[in-house]
Each structure stands twice: as C-alpha cells, then as structure tokens.
Amino acid sequence: MNYILLAVLLMAIVTYLPRVLPIVVFQRKIKSVRIKSFLYYTPYAVLGAMTFPSILFSTGNMYSSIAGTLTALILAYYEQGLMKVALSAVLVVAVCELCFYHL
Amino acid sequence: MNNLQYQTKNKYTQEITEGIKDFKDGFYKGLPIAFGYIPVAFAFGIMAVKGGIPVWIAILISMTNLTSAGQFAGAGLIIANATLLEITVTTFVINIRYMLMSLSLSQKIVERMPGVQRSIMAFGITDETFAVASLEEKEITFPFMMGLIIGPYWGWALGTALGAMLTTFLPEIWQDSLGIALYAMFIALIVPASKKSKAAFVVVIVAISLSCFFRWLPCINQISQGWVIIIATIIASTIGAVFFPRSEDEI
C-alpha cells in the first residue's frame, strides 16, 4: 500500500511541476527554436506511441479492437469531437464482441 | 475622503461583478470538456480497479493528477509492479508537453496575476482546457480559468468513481469495450492535427513505428512500455525539431 501511495504522490508531483513551473517562472519567451519545436512535437509523439500498438490489445480480442480503431480513425479524420469519437469506438467494439459471443 | 471610499468600494464591486462574469463564461466553455471526460475517466476507473488498484486510490489518482495519458501509464506501471523511478520518469516524460502549454498560457494570462493564482490555475491545465483557453480572444483571467477548470475536474473525478465502483456490476463485454475509449480519444486528438500539418504527421508516424518496432522485434521487446514511450517520444520529437523547426511566431 505504501508503494502505491508513494507512486501516486510522485505521479502527482511530476504531473504538476511541468504545469506550474513555466507559468510561474518564465516571464519571457523561450528563444531557442529547437527547444520550442521539440516541445511542440512532444504531445503528438507521446500520443502516437501510447496509442499504437496498445490500442490493438485494449479490448477482448484483436478483431473488435481493429474495428474500433478504424471507427475512431474515420471519425477523427472528419474531425468529430472527442466524446463522439470515443463513444462510437466503444459502441462498435461492443457490437463486435456481442456478435463474436453469439457465434 | 468619503468620495474616495465610495470610489474604492465601487471599483471593488465592479471587479467582483466582472470576476463572476468571467467565471460563468469559463464554466460554460468547460462543460463539453467535462462531459467528454466522463467516459474516459470511467474507462480509467475500470482499468485501475481491474488491475487490482483499490477504488479510493483510483479516485485519488484522478483528483491529484487530473491527466489522461500520464495516469493511465502510471496506473499501468503500478499494476505491473514497476519501480518508482520508472513510474516517475514515465509520467514526467508524458507530461513534458504541459510545459509548452503552461509556457504558452503564461503569455496569454493577465500580466499582473499573482504567483499564488498562477500556481492554482496551473493544476487545471490539460490538453483540452489549454486548447479552449488559448483559443480565447481576450486575456485569460483567474476567474475565467477557475470556471473553465471546475467542470472538467469534477467530470474526471466523477467518471473515475463511477467506473471504479461499477466495475463489478458491469458485464464483461462493456468492460472490454470501454478499454478502447481513451485510445480513441487520443486518435481524435492526433488525427486532425496530422491532417493539418505534415510535420505533426511525420512525428506521429515515426513515434508509432518506433513503438511497434519495440513491441514486436525480438530482444528489444524486453524493454518496458514506459521506456518505449520515452525513447519513441524523444527520437520522434527530435526528428520533428531538426527537420521541421517552427518559426518564431508559430507557437
């Protein structure tokens, strides 16, 4: 239990620090184009690496995962909102799993 | 003297009225985010409890971290019994992106905002609240930011609590299906950006390729997921910075 609480505390600290430090410390803009660019691309890289291939193992079986992934990709391409994309993917996965279950 | 007192009082009342107006404005703009967070937080609650994390700890994580990617990864590592160093470094690297958002908001907020208020509003910076705040045309005030944050904060906490507590009652098919919710939300964040910017697209593809590479290639697939994300992110972002440096005014 101490291990979990300590882990949660550490997570909270390293989540808060990047949020609070720049806004409190930096009053002037960063000059280095390289650093600015690196920071700019970080979220895309993180989200990409986190999503694939993990999304393919996120449900009961890989077929329903692929169906859900395709649904999300198509809806996201047409720039539907976060909630719509997330819930549609969940629904498609559920329908696929129900079909498998009854086959 | 009386006149001065009256003026001071009047100015004070006016500030409060404007503060309430800004708070309400922020609150309404935060509502869609709040509702969007509920299913994703729900999925987090389920994922955490299914992995053996107690219900109250799952809620505690959401209320102290208030971040999707970071706490999913962190909770996953807790479940896998990873070392505290690995958990800390992974969560930190995933959250590095907030530095840019925080930095960007520091140029956007009212100049005289005291340090205490800055430290409080910083807690509520997420991908979505940042996106809404930075699209505002006016300067961001403390009441606006508080209004914007409060809905998503409780949506995130409530969703986690529901997911964590209902896990045992929810049929397995729905538990399995909700597992994709967060990833689908990530896709909803990266696909539109990759459509608009070739650079973002390249960075995403490089990161995905590296991540798959590490997952499936023999030998190096021994490296844990946390480090894979760190390595993939650093390489992909560096490639982005080297080949597609962004000009001064683009951020």
| pLDDT tens for chain A, residues 1 to 103 | 699 999 999 999 999 999 999 999 876 666 788 887 887 787 788 889 888 998 999 887 899 999 999 999 999 999 998 778 988 999 999 999 998 877 6
Which of A10, A20, A101 has the CB atom closest to B173's CB atom?
A101
Are A14 and B91 a contacting pair at CB < 8 A? yes
- Name the stretches of chain B with pLDDT < 70: 1-7, 224-226, 248-251
Q: Which of B149, B180, B211 is the last residue of a domain?
A: B180
Residue B36 in domain: yes
Q: CB distance B179–A58 less than 8 Å?
A: yes
Helix B198-216 to helix A33-51 angle, to the nearest 10 degrees? 50
Residues B139 and B237 reside in one and the same domain: no
Judge contact between B74 and A7, C-beta under 8 A. Answer: yes
- B28 domain residue, yes or no: yes
Structure ipTM: 0.86
Let me know if residue B191 belongs to a domain.
no
Residue A59 has its nearest CB partner, among B118, B176, B211, at B176
What is the domain count for chain B? 2
CA nearest B124: which of A14, A20, A83? A20
* Residue B128 sits in the same domain as residue B226: no
- Residue A56: give the domain boundaries: 2-28+50-102
Rounded to 5°, the CA angle B112-B115-B117 comes to: 85
User: Which residues in chain B have Cβ-Cβ distances shorter than 8 Å to A15?
Assistant: 65-67, 70-71, 91, 95, 98
- CA of A42: how far to CAs of A99, B65, B185, B242, in Å? 39, 19, 17, 13
Structurally, chain A folds into a number of domains equal to 1
Q: Does a structural domain hold residue A10?
A: yes
What is the pLDDT at residue B13? 86
For residues B127 and B7, state if they share a domain. yes
B237 in the same domain as B161: no
Taking a C-beta distance cutoff of 8 angstroms, is the pair A98, B173 a contact?
yes
Minimum distance, in Å, between the CA of residue A66 and any CA atom of chain B: 10
| Chains A & B: contacts with CB separation below 8 Å | 311
pLDDT digits (tens, 9 = 90+) for B132-182: 887 777 889 999 999 999 999 999 999 999 999 998 788 888 878 887 887
pLDDT at B31: 85
pLDDT in tens, B178-202: 878 878 888 988 899 899 999 999 9
Q: Pick from B84, B97, B115: which is nearest to A43 by CB?
A: B97
